[in-house]
Amino acid sequence: MNSGRGGRRARNKNRNAMKPIQRHLINSFLTALLLFLWACAAGGGLRPRPAPPSLDRVIYEMERVRRDIRDLVVHVDVVTADPVLDREETTRLELKFKDPDKLVSRVMKPDGRLTVINGERMWVYSPDIEVVEKYDLADERKRTQVLYEMSWGLTSPIRMLVRGMNRELEVLADGSYLIILEPDQLDPDLERLEAVVDPESWLIERMRIFAPGRPPTLVKVTKWLANAGLDEEIFEFQIPEGAAVFEALE
C-alpha cells in the first residue's frame, strides 16, 4: 500500500514540475503569434486589398495610353472554329499603324494577303490570284470605320470600341481586367465582345467576339510595340509586277 501511494505522489510531483514548462511554451507561442500578427499589420499584410478601379477609370486609362501612341506594331492571332471540319483555324496578322490614318495589315499565315491604307486610299493585294483591289476612302467617317475594322479595333480610339455598348467590368484571378460589351440595340453582326486588359500597360491582351449564328472569334495579341518611329515609306503601296488592278465599285 505504501509503495502505491509513493508512486502516485511521484507522478503528481512530475506533473506539477511540467506545468511551468508547459506555461512557458504556451506563452512563447502566443508571444510569437502576436509579434507575427503585429508585423503583418504594420507591413500591410492584413490590410484589405484595394478596391478595383471603376469601369470608367479603366476606359479612361486605356484612352490615355492610346492617345500617346504615334505609331504601332501589333502581332495578332485570330482563332476561329470551323464547325464543318471540327477544328480551329488560326490567321496570323502583322499590323503597322501610323497616326492618324495609315495602316498596313499583312496576313503572315496562311495566304499573305496585304492591305495598305494611306489616307484616302486603300489597296488590298491577294498574292494567290495576283489581284489588287483599289478603294476610295475620301469620306472621313468611312475611312475611320475601315481602319477600325481592318485592325480589329486595336489601333482606333477606345471610344469607338465602347460606343453604343452596355458595359461591365470584372477582375480576373491574375489581376487583369475583363470588359464585357454588349450592343445597347439589336446588332446583326455582334452579340457580345469580351476584352481582357493588362492592368499595367492598359493595352488589350485578347478579345473574344461573339456574333449571332457564328462560332466565337478569339483575337490574341502576341506583340505590342509602340512609338518605334515607323518610316512613311512602309505605307507606300507598290503594285506588284504582273498583278491586275481593279477599282472597287462604291
Strand partners, 210: 192
| Number of structural domains found in the chain | 2
Helices of type H across 44-115: 55-67
Report how far apart, in Å, the C-alpha atoms of 102 and of each of 12, 40, 98, 146 are: 92, 53, 5, 11
Residue 10, domain extent: 1-48
pLDDT at 245 over 50: yes
Instruction: Check whether the bond before 216 is cis (ω within 30° of 0).
Output: no
Question: Does residue 158 sit in the same domain as residue 210?
Answer: yes
According to the model, what pLDDT value does residue 105 have?
97
Average pLDDT over residues 79-105: 92
Cα–Cα distance measured from residue 129 to residue 127, given in angstroms and rounded to the nearest whole number:
5
pLDDT at 217 over 80: yes
According to the model, what pLDDT value does residue 47 have?
56
Per DSSP, the three-state class of 46 is coil
pLDDT at 4 over 70: no
Strand partners, 92: 77, 109
pTM score of the predicted model:
0.76
According to the model, what pLDDT value does residue 34 have?
47
Over the chain, what is the mean pLDDT? 85
According to the model, what pLDDT value does residue 21 have?
56
* Pairing of β 131-136 and β 244-247: parallel
Which is more confident, 39 or 134? Answer: 134
Residue 166 belongs to domain with CATH number: 2.50.20.10
Average pLDDT over residues 18-36: 54
Nearest CA among 160, 162, 180, 159 for reference residue 170 = 180
According to the model, what pLDDT value does residue 23 have?
59
Residue 185, all three cell numbers: 440595340
Question: Does residue 43 sit in the same domain as residue 59?
Answer: no
Question: Does residue 88 sit in the same domain as residue 120?
Answer: yes
According to the model, what pLDDT value does residue 48 have?
58
